[in-house]
């Protein structure tokens, strides 16, 4: 690792924020000031902390040509013989893919899929489906913002978890898919492989998880979230994916692979299992280290300053949810994570009930985030300061967190909110989740701390944790090199 001087670190570059009805109703839909613009905030390069983290072929603002090339190369070895000129095909996508680095890479991957399939099969009846986890109007916003109706000649539609269902026979009984997902002869599973929802999937059948979440009605989503534990829940998406109904329609999967550095490449294939293996190894090598580095943070103030809900907001190339549970090794299959489902409300009898939020998070400043997802545990865990009248009005009307407004305070501006938060938290270590990949937006004191502790986190992962994660999954250690 190189020796870095905090004084020489560059100014942080936050990710773009997409305007949404689920965000604060400011004149522009954006915050007046970004966290990166605060005095003393710097960009701490991930590559300098961990030189072996897989490098990116794309970060926000770059030329999209590498994404197009990587998609074409990944599809070159994919069998598309199922698809005929007169077939109908649904390309299945996720709302969360449209949050990654402004979504320009995800959009380009989808565009390239459509063009390659048309060219190789002669099929022109290719439709786009956008699945959503919570916010029902978000797919419509995505379609309009990215002009996807033009890209697909009007053949684009949301796929909502409350839409008409379709029964899928599985070994554990009938589960419910979304009819609009499966209303074509064939489906293409176009997803993303960055690290989120780790507390639920544990990097087991990660590639299949959308089949019980994004592509399923709420009854089946609830089965995974609440009826099963954080290990056995991974059975549900696999049973749906391997069902005769889905296999008859499935053609191939294609994933936007990422590390904290940015988009590292495109993985595609007719068999999801090899892709699952590649994404797991990528996660251990890259996200494993940054998660352990976040575990070295013992006190901090967190600023929410990006697109989406807090737990899935990105900072330093990984989501806030990975900091909220950084003190737990979620890659370790011998432990039971807190989770927001089964693990939080039904812990095993031999384990104490854990806190749902990392106690190192001493205060939160909400400069910009979207509502529509339950996260009352955040406001109950530590002081929460909202920035501005519009953010206060947004939280007051949030039907998913009805009591949150009673547990927060409001500051007129971001600088005053940070000043107050530091005093409450009694720390000058600040980290922002602002959508940035490749670098952590943080205060100089936190940057100094992370630089000093990075070798410790690196050694722990390489010498202790990585061998355990690989052994638990039956991986050859040589695969991680």
pLDDT at position 403: 93
- At 260-271, the pLDDT tens digits run 999 999 999 999
- pLDDT-derived band at 430, boundaries 50, 70, 90: very high
- Is beta strand 262-269 parallel, antiparallel or unpaired with respect to 300-305? unpaired
Distances (CA, A) of 439 to 278, 418, 432, 450, 468: 24, 21, 11, 12, 28
Choice among 65-69, 123-127, 173-177, 228-232 with the minimum mean pLDDT: 228-232
Confidence check: pLDDT of 354 > 90? no
DSSP letter, residue 183 = -
pLDDT at 348 over 90: no
pLDDT exceeds 80 at position 62: yes
Confidence at residue 333, expressed as pLDDT on a 0 to 100 scale: 87
Mean of the per-residue pLDDT values of the chain: 92
pLDDT of residue 3: 75
**Partners of 188 in the beta sheet?**
91, 252
- The domain locations on the chain are 6-53+288-466, 65-283
109-113, 242-246, 306-310, 342-346: which range is least confident on average?
342-346
pLDDT in tens, 443-457: 999 999 999 999 999
Model pLDDT, residue 221: 85
**Given this model, what pLDDT does residue 291 score?**
94
Mean pLDDT of 282-296: 94
pLDDT recorded at residue 79: 98
Q: Is it the case that residue 196 has pLDDT exceeding 90? A: no
Given a cut of 70, is residue 353 above it in pLDDT? Answer: no
Report the relative pairing of strands 300-305 and 430-433 from DSSP bridges. parallel
199-225 mean pLDDT: 87
Picking from 271, 264, 370, the residue whose alpha carbon sits closest to that of residue 311 is 370
pLDDT digits (tens, 9 = 90+) for 67-94: 999 999 999 999 999 999 999 999 999 9
Alpha carbons 83 and 118: distance in angstroms, whole number = 10
Q: Which fold has domain 65-283?
A: Rossmann fold (3.40.50)
Residue 352 predicted with pLDDT over 70:
no
Rounded CA-CA distance 262/451 in Å is 20
Q: What is the pLDDT of residue 222?
A: 81
Mean pLDDT computed over 437-446: 97
Please give the Cα distance from 279 to 192 (Å, whole number).
Answer: 10
User: With contact defined as beta carbons under 8 Å apart, do 193 and 258 qualify?
Assistant: yes
Please state, in angstroms and rounded to a whole number, the distance separating the CA atoms of residues 23 and 137: 12
Q: Residue 341: its pLDDT value, please?
A: 52
Residue pLDDT, tens place only, 392-413: 999 999 999 999 999 999 999 9
Whole-prediction pTM? 0.95
pLDDT for 414 equals 98
For residue 350, what pLDDT is reported? 62
The stretch 251-256 carries a mean pLDDT of: 98
Mapping DSSP to helix (H, G, I), strand (E, B) and coil, where does residue 212 land?
A: coil
pLDDT tier at 481 (50, 70, 90 boundaries)?
low
Instruction: Summarize pLDDT for 145-190 with one digit per residue, the tens.
Output: 999 999 999 999 999 999 999 999 999 999 999 999 999 999 999 9
* Tokens matching residue 468: 């355990």
pLDDT above 80 (res 289): yes
The more confidently predicted of residues 194 and 144 is 144
Query: 177, 215 in Cβ contact below 8 A?
Result: yes
In the prediction, which pLDDT does 229 show? 64
Across residues 452-468, what is the average pLDDT?
A: 95
Distance, CA of 142 to CA of 95 (rounded, Å): 8
User: Tens digit of pLDDT for each residue in 34-55?
Assistant: 999 999 999 999 999 999 999 9
Determine contact, residues 257/279, Cβ cutoff 8 Å. Answer: yes
Residue 133 pLDDT level (bands cut at 50, 70, 90): confident
pLDDT of residue 2: 56
pLDDT average, residue stretch 336-341: 60
- Alpha-carbon distance 168 to 247, whole Å? 11
Give the mean pLDDT of 363-369: 98
The pLDDT, as a whole number, for residue 241 is 97
């Amino acid at each position: 690792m190189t020796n870095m001087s905090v004084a020489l670190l560059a100014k942080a570059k936050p990710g773009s924020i997409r305007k949404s009805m689920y965000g604060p109703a400011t004149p522009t839909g954006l915050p007046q000031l970004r966290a990166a613009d605060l005095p003393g905030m710097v960009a701490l390069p991930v590559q300098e902390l961990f030189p072996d983290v897989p490098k990116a072929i794309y970060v926000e603002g770059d030329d999209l040509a590498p994404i197009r090339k990587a998609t074409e190369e990944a599809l070159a070895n994919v069998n598309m013989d199922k698809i005929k000129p007169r077939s109908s095909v649904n390309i299945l996508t996720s709302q969360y893919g449209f949050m990654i680095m402004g979504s320009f890479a995800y959009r380009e991957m989808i565009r390239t899929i459509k063009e390659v399939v048309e060219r190789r099969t002669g099929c022109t009846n290719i439709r786009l489906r956008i699945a959503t986890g919570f916010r029902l109007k978000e797919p419509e916003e995505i379609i309009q913002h990215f002009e996807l109706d033009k890209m697909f000649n009007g053949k684009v539609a949301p796929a909502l978890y409350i839409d008409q269902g379709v029964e899928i026979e599985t070994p554990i009984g009938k589960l419910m898919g979304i009819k609009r997902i499966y209303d074509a002869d064939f489906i293409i599973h176009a997803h993303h492989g960055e690290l989120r929802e780790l507390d639920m999937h544990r990097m087991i059948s990660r590639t299949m998880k959308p089949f019980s979440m994004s592509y399923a009605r709420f009854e089946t989503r609830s089965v995974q979230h609440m009826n099963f534990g954080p290990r056995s829940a991974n059975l549900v998406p696999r049973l749906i994916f391997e069902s005769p109904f889905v296999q008859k329609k499935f053609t191939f999967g294609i994933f936007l692979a990422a590390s904290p550095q940015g988009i590292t490449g495109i993985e595609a294939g007719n068999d999801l299992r090899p892709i699952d293996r590649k994404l797991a190894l990528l996660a251990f090598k890259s996200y494993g280290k940054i998660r352990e580095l976040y575990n070295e943070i013992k006190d901090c103030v967190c600023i929410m300053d990006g697109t989406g809900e807090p737990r899935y907001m990105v900072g330093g190339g990984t989501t806030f949810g990975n900091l909220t549970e950084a003190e737990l090794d979620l890659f370790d299959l011998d432990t039971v994570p807190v989770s927001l489902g089964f693990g939080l409300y039904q812990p095993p009898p031999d384990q104490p009930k854990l806190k749902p939020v990392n106690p190192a998070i001493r205060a939160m400043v909400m400069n910009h985030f979207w509502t529509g997802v339950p996260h009352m545990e955040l406001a109950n865990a530590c002081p929460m300061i909202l920035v501005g009248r519009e953010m206060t009005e947004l939280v007051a009307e949030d039907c998913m967190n009805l009591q949150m407004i009673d547990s927060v305070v409001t500051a007129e501006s971001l600088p005053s909110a940070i000043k107050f938060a530091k005093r409450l938290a009694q720390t000058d270590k600040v980290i922002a989740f602002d959508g940035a990949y490749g670098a952590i937006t943080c205060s100089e004191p936190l940057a100094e701390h992370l630089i000093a502790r990075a070798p410790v986190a690196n050694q722990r992962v390489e010498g202790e944790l990585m061998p355990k994660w690989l052994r638990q999954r039956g991986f050859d250690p040589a695969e991680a090199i």
